[in-house]
Amino acid sequence: MILELPDTTTAKVAKELVNLREEGGAVALGRVLTLLISTTLGEEEEAIAAANEASREHPMRVIVLSVIEPEHSISNRLDAEVRVGGDAGASEVIVLRAYGQVGSDEQGLVTGLLLPDTPVVAWWPGAAPEKVSESPLGKIAQCRITDAASQADPIEALSDLSKTYAPGDADFAWTRLTLWRTQLAAVLDQPPYEPITEAHVTSTPDFPSAKMLAAWLQLQLGVPVSCDLTHTGLSWGGIHGVRLVRPSGDIELTRVEPSVARLKQPNQPTHDLAMPRRSLRDCLAEELRRLDPDEVYGRVVTEGLPQIIVHAS
């Protein structure tokens, strides 16, 4: 069910939520967190769909805020939607569209709608503030999620993450690496236990996760790691492969299909492994599983990224 509330206030929205719970049985007691989504007008639905899917694992209240700046608005008002039931997955969704001066106080718009005594997570699916931890929504959130891949210059966005990192920050460029990191760690945990002397990461251009992966490998292995961003000629983008050099022969993990990676090792059969591309829902659900600061991510961003030189062609 979707309830439209044009030209309203947050107090009226909160009152409608109470009425919906009393009349329709939509219960908030099982919600484990509040997810704040800061996006732009007309681009809310993809983020809402991902949040609805993730809510089946993490029941939550979702507050979507779109601010239309005064120079782009001829009115000062707040329009809202309340979505429950089949239109909200296992969550309840509140969509706020603030026009003009009404949107000047983002924190004030959402504070009265936060679930009491539960964590707050802020997510910027698109363009993010320069320093999210000091932004109005970031100040009230325990976890702040951005996506370098959605910025105007994804590789430069990594540099900004490195300079502005604060505990609690997270980025989907890191989350997309979970399967790669897991598989590479598993390979290195097998004989012959030889030291890696160098590593190489190849990827399509403007894919920030490749530089993240190179930074993680360099920190973990303590060896030079190259990051080459080049057109691979494949029909899909993203990381193409990783090559780890060691005395007995190279380890190669290469994506051969959008959902399949091929592992080659000396004196062992070649294996094809399931390596599906991670969806927005997958990344969001993973970040919501842990709301404490990710120390490994923090080290990769602050210590690893500045050491990696990207070679683009």
* 57: Cα separation from own chain's centroid: 16
Q: What is the pLDDT of residue 88?
A: 65
- Tens digits of residue pLDDT in 220-241: 999 999 999 987 677 778 999 9
Q: What is the CATH number of the domain that holds 239?
A: 3.30.360
Tell me the angle at which helices 208-221 and 154-164 cross, rounded to the nearest 10 degrees. 50
- Tens digits of residue pLDDT in 104-152: 999 999 999 999 999 999 999 999 999 999 999 999 999 999 999 999 9
Residues across the chain: 313
Same domain as 307, residue 248: yes
Question: For the chain, which ranges sit under pLDDT 50?
Answer: 27-28
Same domain as 89, residue 180: no
Query: Does residue 283 lie in a domain region?
Result: yes
Same domain as 99, residue 189: no
Query: Does residue 165 lie in a domain region?
Result: no
Same domain as 222, residue 91: no
> Do 202 and 228 form a contact (C-beta atoms < 8 A)?
yes
Q: What is the pLDDT of residue 90?
A: 67
Element (H, E) at 82: strand 77-83
Query: Does residue 166 lie in a domain region?
Result: no
> Do 94 and 61 form a contact (C-beta atoms < 8 A)?
yes
> Do 103 and 68 form a contact (C-beta atoms < 8 A)?
yes
Same domain as 229, residue 190: yes
To which residue do tokens 């959902």 refer?
259
Rounded Cα–Cα distance for residues 161 and 76 (Å) = 34
Pick from 301, 297, 193: nearest CA to 247 = 193
Query: Does residue 156 lie in a domain region?
Result: no
Same domain as 202, residue 96: no
Structure tokens at 245: 């050099």
Query: Does residue 155 lie in a domain region?
Result: no
* Cβ neighbours of 306 (radius 10 Å): 13
Same domain as 177, residue 142: no
> In 3-state terms, what secondary structure has residue 51?
helix
Q: How far apart are the first and last CA of the chain?
A: 50
Same domain as 113, residue 50: yes
Query: Does residue 176 lie in a domain region?
Result: yes
Alpha-carbon torsion angle 290, 34, 46, 256, nearest 10: 0
Query: Does residue 79 lie in a domain region?
Result: yes
Same domain as 185, residue 102: no
Rounded Cα–Cα distance for residues 150 and 160 (Å) = 14
CA atoms within 13 A on the CB side of 169: 28
Q: Is the peptide bond before 258 cis (omega within 30 degrees of 0)?
A: no
Contacts of 138 (CB under 8 A, 6+ apart): 122, 129, 131, 132, 144
pTM over 0.75: yes
Q: What is the pLDDT of residue 84?
A: 86
Number of domains within the chain: 2
Element (H, E) at 18: helix 10-24
Same domain as 118, residue 26: yes
Same domain as 198, residue 80: no
In sign, the C-alpha dihedral spanning 202, 251, 302, 182 is positive
The residue range of the domain holding 98 is 2-146
To which residue do tokens 């969704």 refer?
93
Same domain as 242, residue 137: no
Query: Does residue 266 lie in a domain region?
Result: yes
